[in-house]
Amino acid sequence: MSPLEPFGARLRHAMDTRGPLCVGIDPHASLLTAWGLNDDIAGLERFTRTVVEALADRVAVLKPQSAFFERFGSRGIAVLEKSVAEAREAGALVLMDAKRGDIGSTMGAYAATYLDKDSPLFSDAVTVSPYLGFGSLRPALDAAAASGAGVFVLALTSNPEGAEVQRSTTADGRSLAQLMLDHMAAENAGAEPLGSVGAVVGATLGDVGVNLDINGPLLAPGIGAQGATPADLPGVFGQAVGNVVPSVSRGVLRHGPDVAALRESATRFADEVRSAVAGR
């Protein structure tokens, strides 16, 4: 099977036509309960199907959090496989939030799971952790390039614990986060209109103090329930704000199971992001 158009180009088109928004699919127990569903495989399936039916034909990116499916074992993975296929068929790009990171053949196996077009879990992109060294990601980077997929590399996350690693100083004086961002920029060099190696940078961080010009997408979790708003994005991302993919989960999902309310919330967030980026 021939490779897809590069992920960066497909993402740029999706953001320009559908709006710059990623909606997480996070079926944790409290959210299932809030929807009036049981925390079981039937509830998981109903929740996931509703989100996909409501949003996959209109948002740029859907981001299932793999852990919330894995906790149900093989039946949960089966729901995840089906939702990935159906979301992609409806036109959404699927970003698998798995945060995988390992070395050698093990990283190669993770890459085959999410980035091989013959895999039942093949996604348009996957989140990965570089903190075994950026070079440990090579199997995923190569697999993504071969299939037209993308990777989003953790850089500056919004959790407080992340700073002790990501803000630490390397031998040449750069922060570890900046070193990782520089590696991403090198991977994306020359790509048009956007590279396929993205960074994860929390929208709640304020002045991040790093160079975010990586010629690639910037996944920005933290919009909505975590406290950040679309209006905060220019202050965090500066000149790179046009490449930001804000990620919202509870801020949209809390409006379910009403399909119309889910759609209205996602549209409102996307419009607010457009306005914030245009008015910077």
Question: Is the distance from CB of 115 to CB of 141 less than 8 angstroms?
Answer: no
- Check residue 2 and give left, alpha or beta (phi > 0: left; psi -120 to 50: alpha): beta
Question: CA-CA distance, 122 to 83, in Å (whole number)?
Answer: 11
Active site residue 82: no
Question: CA-CA distance, 96 to 104, in Å (whole number)?
Answer: 21
Catalytic residue among 63, 82, 99, 117: 99
For strand 218-223 and strand 150-156, is the pairing parallel, antiparallel, or unpaired? unpaired
Q: Residues 71, 112, 86, CA angle at the centre, nearest 5°?
A: 60
Could you tell me which of 112, 155, 114, 113 has the C-alpha nearest to residue 131? 155
Could you tell me which of 93, 96, 87 has the C-alpha nearest to residue 8? 93
Catalytic residues: 99
